[in-house]
Amino acid sequence: MLVLPARLTHGQAGPCMQMLAQALRAQPGSTVVADAGPLGQFDSSALAVLLECRREALAQGKSFSVSRLPPRLRELATLYGVGELLPAAP
């Protein structure tokens, strides 16, 4: 499981994505779940990071879903038209 940090804004997006991409490549199995529960402070950069994680997972032939996505971030995803790209984890 990939775990997002408590703060994910523009300034943290690059380093966070590098860390998550490395963890994603090392993760065994065919399913990737990103835990967004720790997110407390974020902007639209959090969506960009999640979408890049999704892209990386799909490129590796893995499915991708998100657990505990904060309601405000789900609203942003819907507003930007990408909500369906970030399915809730079972």
For the chain, percent of residues with pLDDT exceeding 70: 100
Question: Residue 61's domain spans which residues?
Answer: 2-85
Per-residue model confidence (pLDDT) at position 90: 87
43-56 average pLDDT score: 97
Q: Is residue 90 part of a domain?
A: no
Query: Which residues lie below 8 Å from residue 42, measured CB to CB, with a gap of 6+?
Result: 7, 8, 9, 70, 73
pLDDT in tens, 4-43: 999 999 999 999 999 999 999 999 999 999 999 999 999 9
Domain of residue 7, CATH code: 3.30.750.24
Q: Is residue 45 part of a domain?
A: yes
Alpha-carbon dihedral angle through residues 6, 51, 2, 86, given to the nearest 10 degrees: 90
Contact at 8 Å (CB) between 32 and 24? yes
- pTM comes to 0.95
Rounded to the nearest integer, the mean pLDDT of the chain is 97
Indicate the number of domains in the chain: 1
Q: What is the spatial order of strands in the sheet that 2-3 belongs to?
A: 2-3, 31-35, 63-67
Q: Is residue 27 part of a domain?
A: yes
